[in-house]
Each structure stands twice: as structure tokens, then as C-alpha cells.
Amino acid sequence: VLVFFLLFGRGCMNYMFPASYAWGNFSVLAVGIWAIVQRDSLDAIMMFLTGLLLTVLTDIIHISVFYPPNKYLTDVKRFSIGMAIFSLLLKPLSCYLVYRMYRERGGE
């Protein structure tokens, strides 16, 4: 969860993406913290997994729509986009690990 927060937080640092990018990822982060703290809840872990899967889709849309042209791409914007893309690439691994947690807690 901490790595997830650090990566997408760096993707938000340049105000290149709209507020929906940050709000969507922060809400999934909050549900993820809830799912980790409340170890006996299947609903929390399922909501976290669903949120992660939805943010994969919305991150792809945000990155593809709001990617700036090359002549407007500064170093800070390039770093922000790189972190957002890296976060997007690591989300399937996070989904797999969350699914394994779901199975360990008794989910089918």
C-alpha cells in the first residue's frame, strides 16, 4: 500500500492530471488501509480489489487523454508521467497480491 501511495502521489505532483485521478487513487488507498487493518473482513478486501481493478482502467484513460505533446513536456512532467505509468504497471501485481489475501481470508 505504501508503494502504491508513493508512486501515484508522484504522478499527481505536477497537476497534469485532473482531480479525478487523485481522488480515485486516494479513495482506493483509504479502502486498502481499511482492508489491511480489519483482517477479518472479506468485504473490505473485495472492495479494495475492485477499486484497484477500476483504477487500472481509469489510469489508462487519464494517461492516454492527458499526455502532453512532446514540445510541452518538461522534466518534471516527464517524471510525473513516468511515475504514473510505473504505478499503472505495478497495479496488476498488487491486484494479484490482494487476490491472494482474499483467498487466505476465506474468499472463493
pLDDT tens, 58-107?
999 988 998 888 887 888 788 888 888 888 898 999 999 999 999 988 87
- DSSP annotation string for 23-68: HHHHHHHHHHHHHHH-TT-HHHHHHHHHHHHHHHHHHHHHHHHHPP
Q: Which pLDDT belongs to residue 79?
A: 81
pLDDT tens, 3-43?
666 666 666 666 777 888 888 888 998 999 999 898 888 99
Q: Which pLDDT belongs to residue 6?
A: 62
